[in-house]
Amino acid sequence: MSYSNRHDADVAARNVLVYSDKLASFDFGPTHPFKPARAKQMMDLLSRYSLLYEKNQLIIEAGPFPEEELYVYHDRKYLELLKNAEKGGFTMEMLEAGLGTDDCPVVPGLWDFCMNAAGGTCRGAAMLAEGTARVVFNPLGGFHHAGRDHAEGFCYLNDLAVAITNLTRRGTRIAYIDIDVHFGNGVRDAFAGREDVLCISIHESGMSIYPWSGFVEDIGEGKGRGYTVNIPLMEGSDDEVFLGAFEAVVPPLVEAFRPDVVVAVIGGDTHRDDLLGHLNLTSIGYERAIRIINNLSPKLLVTGGGGYNVYKTAALWTLAWAAFCGLEPADAYAGLIGGMMYGPETQSGSLRDDPYVVTGHLKERCSEYARDMVNYLRKNVFPIHGIS
């Protein structure tokens, strides 16, 4: 993979952040839930909490990448439809490919946004393969719903499928870990028949949320049987339920698989204040999961994925970046200026939440459901990986 960037000559940092003001300013419309501005607010928080400009950090702009790279996953005809969509002139073929819907509107600059966002993820994969980074975080990547020949779920190009495919062509073993509230059906479909990509997703059950799939019984196909792992949770599940299932399944499977690179989607939409999800996570459970992911592989390619409470998502990503870099946030402005410059006053005093614990019958149901999911995987998936 070939890219040009003014930083290429001196890339020596271990922790790489992909960011572009232009991408963060892209607008899908006032009523659309997907707000790229989350990334700009994250950058403000990273600066406020003294989490930038360490010697082992590097900030790069994504930039576009060769269109031919997309052909390793995407259908050429679909890409032509996507390129032509914003030029005007509606066709039924576009609608059949998921373009022009409420979820995936066609807006000016769409092709460039998609190419640059995907370019950040794919460039990050190349840097990891070349040994010029330990962690690459692209907050404006992680479009895990996009299919080979269609758009869905706010996702037009599946940057993850493209990047993972390119890495596996180098002989790289990939563990994909998705903690977004929505099941990454596009990535699942790309790799369900392969044994060199372990796909693990913990998400709200498809019984209550889009894309209405990702059930525990789906463990892959053919040679890939046992390499698709789904941990659906009941709506209402809190930190304790989430972490209990996550810690029981993810570390043992990843350690048995022994990946060369972990690719992660760290959507902030599991948070209890998210606008589209129905789980009850706080920053406590989220940060714990991030720290576990950080310790599972010597190399990490991380993408932002979902998150529809803009401030909360930016705060969670800030905590994630701190964890990847081994830093502790320190508020450089504490006691000096009001928090309204950075977010709602009630939220901006700290990146971290107070604990929140679900109780009563709901907690019992959520806990029992999660235990059933874990037991199913222990019985049907763990033996495939030699775990007793």
Nearest to 211 by CA among 93, 103, 95: 103
* Active-site choice (145, 182, 271, 278): 145
> What is the end-to-end Cα distance of the chain in Å, rounded?
40
Can you read off the two tokens belonging to residue 372? 């059933």
How many angstroms separate the CA atoms of 184 and 200, rounded? 10
Q: Which tokens go with 14?
A: 């271990």
Angle at 17 between CA 12 and CA 19, to 5 degrees: 130
Decide: 234 and 369 in contact? Cβ < 8 Å.
yes
What is the SS3 assignment for 139? coil
| Exposure b/e, 236-261, CB count within 10 A at least 16 = b | bbbbbbbbbbbebbbeebbeebebbb
Contact 226, 93 (CB under 8 A): no
By CB neighbour count within 10 A (0-12 exposed, 13-18 middle, 19+ buried), where does 290 fall?
Answer: buried
What is the Cα–Cα distance from 187 to 179, expressed in whole angstroms? 13
Q: Please name which of 100, 82, 104 lies closest in space to residue 92, comparing C-alpha atoms.
A: 100
What are the structure tokens assigned to 282, written together? 């706080």
Q: How far apart are CA 157 and CA 255, in angstroms?
A: 30
DSSP 8-state assignment for residue 354? P
> Residue 145 catalytic?
yes
Cα-to-chain-centroid distance, residue 272: 18
Q: How far apart are CA 385 and CA 257, in angstroms?
A: 7
Q: What is the set of active-site residues?
A: 145
